[in-house]
Amino acid sequence: MFKRAIFDKKNVLVLGGAGFIGSHLCDRLVQTAKVICIDNFSTGTEYNIDHLLANPNFKFIKADLSEPLSLESQPELASFKVEFQGVQEIYNLTCPTSPLDFHKNKIANLLANSYVVKNALDLAQKYQAKLLHFSSSVVYGARRSSERVAEEFVGALDPLAERASYDTGKCFAETMVRTYRDVYNLDAKIIRLSRIYGPRMPLNQGHLLPDFIANALDNRDLVIFGNETFATSFCYVDDCLAAIEKLMNSELAGPLNVGSDFDVNLTEMAKRVIAMTGSQSKIVYTDEHLFITSLPLLDITRAREQLGWIPLVSLEHGLEKTIDDLRASKNLKRTDYAQSAA
C-alpha cells in the first residue's frame, strides 16, 4: 500500500480536465488542492484551462491516457512531490463527447471506456486514492417513456448497435470500476450524468444549447433533430459540481444519478434562446440524429435523500450565464477548437 505523506495540500488528478465539465472541476478543486490535469485535447481545449496555467497549484500534462502514465517521471510535477505524497483523489472524465463527430471517435470511445478506465483504476490502486468515474444516463438505454429511471433500472442495450462503442462502452467501464472496488477494496465511485450545460461548452458539436446560442447570435437557423415533441432535461454545471463534491466526500459508492428530473421541450427552449439573444433566427426541424436524442429522464431521489443534493440553478439563470459566455468568446472557441482538433 502506498504510504500517504500529505504535505500542505492533497494531490488531485483530473483526467479529461480540459473538457467542459473537467475544466470547471479543476477551477473548484484548485482552490483547496494541487491539481494535475491530463488531457489529449480530443474534444477538450486549451482555452478552457488557459486561466489556470499560471497557478502554482495547477499542472497540465498532455497525454494519451490509453497508455499507462508514470506521474513520478513528469518533471513538471516535481513541486507536487508525487513520489512521496502520491495522489489522494482521481476524477475520470475522459471520453470524446462530440455527437456530430461520433463516427470519427468510435475507436477513441472504445479506448476511453476500457484502457483509460483500467489505467485510472491502476493509479487509484497504486496510490490508494479515491476515484470518481463519470458515467452517463445512456447506460439505461433509449428513452421509452416520460417515467424517471432510478439507479436500479437495468437498461436494454445492444452491444452491436451503431452507437454501442459509447453506450455499451459506458456499461463496461462501470463494470471495471465495480470489479476493482470489489477485488482491491478501492474507494471507487460512479456518477451518472445527463445533459449538463453551461459556459465553455464546445460549439458546433451537436450539444444542443451551445449550438442554439451560437446560431441565434449569428441570426442563423436553430436546428432541431426531430420534431416539435423533442424534450430533454438540462442541469447547470454548478449544480453538477456540487453533486460531484458531495459524492466524493461521502461514503456512497454509487452509481448516482445527477441531472435535472424535469423535461424541457426543445422547441420552447429554442424560442427562449431567440428571445434572450434578441435574434431573428428561425427554428427548423431535420431528420433525427443517431447521437442527439432525448436521453432517459433521471430519478434523483437517491442524490436528494442520501446526499442532500438537488439542482438549484434555474434554467433562466443558467441560460443567461451560458449566453454571456458564448457571446463573449464564441469566436475564440471556434478558433481554439479548430487548432486543437487539427
Residue pLDDT, tens place only, 72-108: 999 999 999 999 999 999 999 998 877 777 778 889 9
Q: How do 130-136 and 188-193 pair as beta strands?
A: parallel
Asked if 115 is an active-site residue, the reply is: no
pTM recorded for the entire structure: 0.91
Helix (H, G, I), strand (E, B) or coil at 60: strand
What pLDDT is recorded for position 7?
72
- Identify the weakest region by mean pLDDT among 105-119, 185-199, 279-293: 279-293
What pLDDT is recorded for position 235?
96
Contacts of 177 (CB under 8 A, 6+ apart): 117, 121, 131, 133, 188, 189, 190
The catalytic position among 166, 180, 236, 337 is 166
Question: How sure is the predictor about 337, in pLDDT bands with cuts at 50, 70 and 90?
Answer: very low
What pLDDT is recorded for position 80?
94
Residue pLDDT, tens place only, 241-281: 999 999 999 999 999 999 999 999 999 999 999 999 999 99
What pLDDT is recorded for position 293?
76
Select the more confidently predicted residue: 326 or 116. 116
Pick the CATH number of 11-200+234-262+294-316 from 3.30.479.30, 3.40.50.720, 3.40.30.10, 3.20.20.150: 3.40.50.720
Looking at the predicted structure, is the pLDDT value of residue 4 above 80? no
DSSP structural state of residue 234: -
User: Which of 188, 181, 127, 124 minimizes the C-alpha distance to 4?
Assistant: 127
Task: Report d(CA 165, CA 325) in Å as an integer.
Answer: 32
Task: Report d(CA 131, CA 303) in Å as an integer.
Answer: 18
- Identify the weakest region by mean pLDDT among 125-129, 292-296, 319-323: 292-296
Looking at the predicted structure, is the pLDDT value of residue 160 above 60? yes
Strand partners, 224: 285
* Cell reading at 267: 422547441
Task: Report d(CA 309, CA 300) in Å as an integer.
Answer: 9
How many CB atoms are closer than 10 A to CB 52? 19
Give just the sign of the alpha carbon dihedral 147, 151, 152, 158: positive
% of the chain surpassing 70 pLDDT: 94
Task: Report d(CA 289, CA 286) in Å as an integer.
Answer: 9
